[in-house]
Every structure is written in C-alpha cells, then in structure tokens.
C-alpha cells in the first residue's frame, strides 16, 4: 500500500515536472531599440507624457526564448502586471524603458504588455520585480551607445556598415549582437533594434545560441534623436 502511494506521488511529481518543462525556456533576448529609428518612420511615435526620452537606446524587453527559435508567450494570465510592485524602479523605468507608442502615455501599458507576454514565461526564475530590475541592470551594464561612440559610431544620420556596428559591440563588450533594421520615411535601411543573449537565470550575457537573420542593408543609417 505504501509503495503504491509512493508510486502515485512520484507519478504526480513527474507529470508536474513535464508540465513545467513545457513552459520553461532556454535563454533570453535582451532587446533594445533606438528611439530615433522609431520616430523617423512613416508611422507615428509619441513621447512619454513626462518628457522626451534621452538620446539613448531604450529597452524593448527581455524575452524568454527556446533554442529551436520559437518562444513561449502569455504564460500566466493569473499574474497580471502590477505597477505597485515596481514603484521603487519608476525613475529608472522612465529613463531606460520609455514608451514611444501613441497616444502619449506614462509607459505602464508598454511595461504591462512586456510582463504579460514575456515576463510571465520566466517567472519561475524572475518574479515581477526581479524581471524589471534585472532587465534594467543588464541594459545599463552593457551600455550599447557608449560602446558605439567609443568606436566612432555616432547617432548623427551618417551611414555605418552593419559589420562595424556588430564588431564595435563585440570588441567592447565581448558578445556578438544581432542588428535589426527598419526603414525611415524615405525608405533608407537604418539601425532599429539590437539583440543580445542572456543566460536563463538572467545573470550574464552569453553568445546567442541561435542565428537571428535580420534584414539590413550592408550599410545602414544611424539617425539622430
């Protein structure tokens, strides 16, 4: 009888593990966006209610991903975004994770979307406060704009080769980024988002385990902001 119960317990534990495995992930993408490339397209961009963002990369998100290239999303509707939980991070959120969506707003909609879609899928590793504080820490630590400026790559409307942008970051910070481009209102290919990979505990950058092919011209514009 006892062994029987044990077996049932083991089986239950096993199915729980299997269940949770299907919701975990292999690594994160830390995605940052250049505000100048969002605001010079033919689509509209709105500054946050409080102020125009600083001329710096802004966080888009920290996205759990699988090595097969797909990713989990919207993993727990019972764990909604709650701004109160990150009230002590508000100043940092406003300066490093600004929203550019219209109509102009305080950013909570953007942060809520990022938590609900992505953060809930890594909450076994990072709770809500940790998800945002970890992302902020990674972003300020990697300081992409500093790495680019040190290599003579300035957001002044000039064109730079994608290779020179990638190499500048790789050489200064040690990790190879993926560059995503979009087009300005005249159709020029430009630096839009930069992806870096982070290990599944959110504690350190890693080389990306998958290749992210992103459409960029060989030479791309780095618009001012």
Ligand X SMILES: *[C@@H]1O[C@H](CO)[C@@H](O)[C@H](O)[C@H]1NC(C)=O
Chain positions contacting ligand X, by CB under 6 A: 22, 66, 68, 70, 152, 154, 156-158, 187-189, 217
Verify whether residue 96 is a known catalytic residue.
Answer: no
Nearer to ligand X, 92 or 122 (CB): 122
| Residue 71 Cβ vs ligand X, minimum distance, rounded to whole Å | 8
Question: Got the DSSP string for 147-193?
Answer: HHHHTT--SSS-EEEHHHHHHHHHHHHSS--EEEEEE-TT--EEEEE
| Residue 191 Cβ vs ligand X, minimum distance, rounded to whole Å | 12
Verify whether residue 154 is a known catalytic residue.
Answer: no
Nearer to ligand X, 118 or 139 (CB): 118
Nearest in space to 203 (alpha carbons), one of 85, 102, 62: 62
| Residue 94 Cβ vs ligand X, minimum distance, rounded to whole Å | 28
Distance CA 83, CA 103 (A): 20
CA atoms lying within 13 Å on the CB side of residue 60 = 16
Nearest in space to 87 (alpha carbons), one of 37, 133, 45: 133
Residues in contact with 155: Cβ distance below 8 Å, sequence separation at least 6, in sequence order: 34, 36, 55, 145, 222, 223, 224, 225
Of 94, 96, 118, 180, which residue is the catalytic one? 118
Nearer to ligand X, 103 or 187 (CB): 187
| Residue 22 Cβ vs ligand X, minimum distance, rounded to whole Å | 5
Verify whether residue 85 is a known catalytic residue.
Answer: no
Nearer to ligand X, 92 or 189 (CB): 189
Of 60, 94, 96, 180, which residue is the catalytic one? 60
Catalytic annotation, residues: 60, 114, 118
């Amino acid at each position: 009888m006892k062994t029987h119960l044990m077996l049932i317990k083991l089986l239950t534990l096993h199915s729980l593990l299997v269940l949770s495995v299907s919701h975990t992930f292999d690594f994160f993408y830390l995605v940052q966006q250049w505000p100048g490339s969002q605001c010079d397209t033919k689509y509209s961009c709105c500054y946050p209610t409080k102020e125009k963002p600083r001329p710096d990369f802004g966080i888009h998100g920290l996205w759990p991903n699988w090595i097969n290239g797909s990713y989990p999303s919207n993993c727990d509707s019972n764990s909604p975004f709650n701004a109160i939980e990150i009230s002590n991070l508000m100043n940092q959120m406003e300066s490093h994770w600004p929203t550019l969506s219209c109509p102009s707003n305080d950013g909570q909609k953007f942060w809520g979307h990022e938590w609900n879609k992505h953060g809930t899928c890594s909450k076994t590793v990072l709770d809500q406060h940790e998800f945002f504080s970890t992302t902020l820490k990674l972003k300020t630590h990697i300081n992409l704009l500093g790495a680019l400026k040190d290599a003579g790559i300035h957001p002044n409307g000039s064109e730079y080769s994608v290779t020179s942008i990638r190499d500048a970051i790789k050489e200064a910070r040690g990790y190879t980024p993926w560059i995503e481009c979009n087009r300005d209102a005249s159709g020029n290919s430009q630096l839009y988002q930069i992806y870096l990979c982070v290990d599944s505990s959110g504690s350190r950058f890693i080389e990306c385990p998958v290749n992210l092919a992103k459409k960029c011209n060989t030479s791309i514009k780095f618009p001012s902001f």
